[in-house]
Structure 1
């Protein structure tokens, strides 16, 4: 996002710095989408496949190699074919255009968004099917809220907000929806993974409870020990 802001403002519009920014922007955009694809695969393994049957050794290392390594391929190809595709255009924007944009930017993005849409549909189908089995155990409202929450989380986590971005050229409404949803992606993930997770809330609450006695000058060592023991008992 920082590279995009620098490129969009045109602060470095000379040839060489602009080419460097264009390369970094192209690489970072593709890397972001590759991480969204990794997220889709992980969520599919967690929510659809049988837990434990798809355990992959060195999963994080392999995910990093793919997400950070795959974007190097189209960037390297463009650099080897014609480095000037990253030169500033008539608007002063440093980014591939024309055929290079369609082949090295739009095609990979479309492939990943399409794959994530398929995974999104499969996960929702699995979640709804599992909810139908559990319907006699939980209330209808609770199950519906869980389905809605899962749908919203996956929509942002898998980068499906970019569907609006791909359609922005055909509809002003899609352009506004893209600007709103894309900028809220990090905030929505924070709500679900930090505020919405009981373990995360307990972790930060526990850390705050431990810090307060340590920073207080009025508490005695015995009081601090008692507070720590009480916190450990609550955690257990």
Structure 2
């Protein structure tokens, strides 16, 4: 279940990457619809997980490999690392395309170099957690010297991924702020009209 659900998480991050890529490329007529995303995001991980289960069910959660639910020795770990790494690389490419398109907009081209750098850093801060690119820190834990640093960055980045998504996609989103502003102003108008009608 852990193997399957982590793959589902990665597939949804890929769906987000594809959605953003299509959004900045309006010339591509293909649209991301929920009836397409759901079977892909839940179906492909099921195929990978059940195939892995059929190949090596006895090797899951090997007590000799404490802390890892897939063995590192016989290549079974690549049933998770392979798709996860591929999705991370694809999302990294999508990030580069989105940032490049963002900076190519006329409004950004007219800004100073300093403002353009600020805008691109802000865009990356929003997109990196959303696309799951903090997993790159997990891959960079190659040797003992760098493992501790990258392990901390990996755990902090992934531990706060939901918080980052909530802040950037909810609290800082213009549509959400506009909606909340509209609701609160409507509430004030309704409240004042009620107060006036009752004479309080």
TM range (shorter): 0.7 to 0.9
How far does the alpha carbon of each residue in 1:85-104 deviate from its partner, in whole angstroms, 9 at most, with x for none? 22442366572213353331
- With normalisation by structure 1, the TM-score equals 0.70
1:37 matches 2:14: yes
Distance across 2 between alignment mates of 1:183 and 1:225: 50
What is the 5 A alignment of 1:36-115? 36-47=13-24, 49-50=25-26, 53-56=28-31, 59-90=33-64, 95-98=69-72, 99-115=74-90
**Paired position in structure 2 for 1:200:** 176
Kept after mapping to 1: 8 A contact 2:65/2:71: no
- With normalisation by structure 2, the TM-score equals 0.81
In the TM superposition, residue 40 of structure 1 has moved relative to its aligned partner by 0.8
**Paired position in structure 2 for 1:191:** 167
Distance across 2 between alignment mates of 1:140 and 1:114: 28
What runs of 5+ residues in structure 1 fail to find an aligned partner? Answer: 1-23, 227-236
Distance across 1 between alignment mates of 2:122 and 2:136: 20
- Residue from 127, 149, 173 that aligns with 1:173: 149
Distance across 2 between alignment mates of 1:223 and 1:139: 50
Give the count of matched residue pairs: 193
Distance across 2 between alignment mates of 1:178 and 1:106: 15
Computing the radius of gyration over CA atoms, which structure comes out larger, 1 or 2?
1
Instruction: Indicate the RMSD between aligned Cα atoms, in angstroms.
Output: 2.9
